[in-house]
Structure 1
């Protein structure tokens, strides 16, 4: 629905081998006046003084999104996210035609031709995961945690809920990387992107 325009991934290996900010500042011999460690690290990476490449690409690169899907005998690919579908030809599906009629296929098995969403990277920066703010958490597509009394967490899109979007994001992050993946406050790639119309991609 266009709500998600950012994503974050841990940097591997971690700058300074995962050292704390205080230890990292010592390693670089202190900070220039008025500069933060984040600014120094980000500037160093942007200037290629840090030889670590973002695995997802650079500004201008295109990414195609994989989704859980189903290939039907009616030559349609259906997307489980919203149950919409697109037609396809046998020329397009090639060897994947043998999968027609199977159950829902995991996103990791989606072929390029079946993808309906293409993203263009617009910005890449380096930061600590806990530096994320409410606007960034909302841009991650997260929804604010508003009901802790139900058996399953309920989220709600509302940018006026202060720190709640960050709380919701931290819970999501921990569910993927474990509690230590948040508590250790690792350096991450913060990647911004925009959706590209399929007609422009084909051109």
Structure 2
């Protein structure tokens, strides 16, 4: 089983577990030969659908590059497929494991063999997918430019809409960013639109300049599975 990571510093993992975040955008890793090449998408035939009309082609959500002469570089496929159940990466500590219990995962055994001494106790990168306690199920995949995100999708990405007293607008938007002293998430900044809030958030999560560079992204929609 695959696992997926969400940013903890900005509260995105918790947002998924709370059911507020139901989409995630991941930058497409591609090597465009040069500016003369255009992005292309697969054309599906009847064999690419099941008896109920559902698209089942392995190229669902894929894209490729082709130049004016028809030369083709191959397909770039999304990492996750529709219907796939994916583990949400969390450290053993955040997953609620007993710190003094024996580490039951041989590939992550410490010298003492206790959960609290495991490399995955505080670092979710070392936790295997089968040890994760929560999962999402992918319900849709699409590819688009990052700046083409809709206001509706911004809210699905975890942007929070809250009504505030304002002479300029009946509401502003906020995103979860930091923990307060009681380990509760709070809105650190306010914005006039969900897209403005998402633009700042994606730059913090994926690196400064990400929004401005407007890369192609795989947009995964999902539901909390357990």
Higher normalized strand content (fraction of residues): 2
Change in Cα spacing, 1:132 to 1:47, as seen in structure 2 (3 Å) is: closer
User: What is the TM-score when the length of structure 2 is the normalising length?
Assistant: 0.56
Q: Kindly state the Cα deviation for residue 69 of structure 1 after the two structures are TM-superposed.
A: 3.2
Contact 1:119 1:193 in 2 (8 A): yes
Hey, what does 2:129 align to over in structure 1?
112
Q: Give the C-alpha shift of residue 113 in structure 1.
A: 3.6
Q: Which residue of 2 aligns with 1:6?
A: 23
Which consecutive residues of structure 1, in runs of 5 or more, have no partner in the other structure?
Answer: 29-39, 71-77, 80-84, 147-151, 198-203
- How many residue pairs get aligned? The number is 157
Structure 2: gaps of 5 or more residues: 1-17, 45-58, 65-74, 161-172, 176-185
RMSD: 3.6
Q: Classify 1:49/1:137 alpha carbon distance in 2 versus 1 (closer, same or farther; 3 Å).
A: closer
* Structure with more helix by fraction: 1
Identify which of structures 1 and 2 has the higher relative contact order when contacts are C-alpha pairs closer than 8 Å and 6+ apart. 1
* 1:102 and 2:117 aligned: yes
Q: Separation in 2 of the partners of 1:126 and 1:42?
A: 12
Match for residue 76 of structure 2? 52
2:27–2:215 Cα contact (<8 Å) kept: yes
Distance in 1 (alpha carbons) for counterparts of 2:201 and 2:103: 40
15 and 4 in structure 1: CA distance in 2 versus 1, 3 angstrom threshold: farther
User: 1:172 aligns to what SS in structure 2?
Assistant: helix
Report how far residue 61 of structure 1 moved. 1.5
| Distance across 2 between alignment mates of 1:177 and 1:91 | 33
The match for 2:204 among 175, 185, 199 is 175
- Normalising by the residue count of structure 1, what TM-score does the alignment of the two structures yield? 0.61
**C-alpha distance in structure 1 between counterparts of 2:198 and 2:43, whole Å:** 26
Deviation at 1:63, TM superposition (A): 0.9
How big is the shift at 1:49? Answer: 6.5
Name the counterpart of 2:84: 61
Q: Deviations over 1:51-84 (max 9, x none)?
A: 11112x21112210111332xxxxxxx43xxxxx
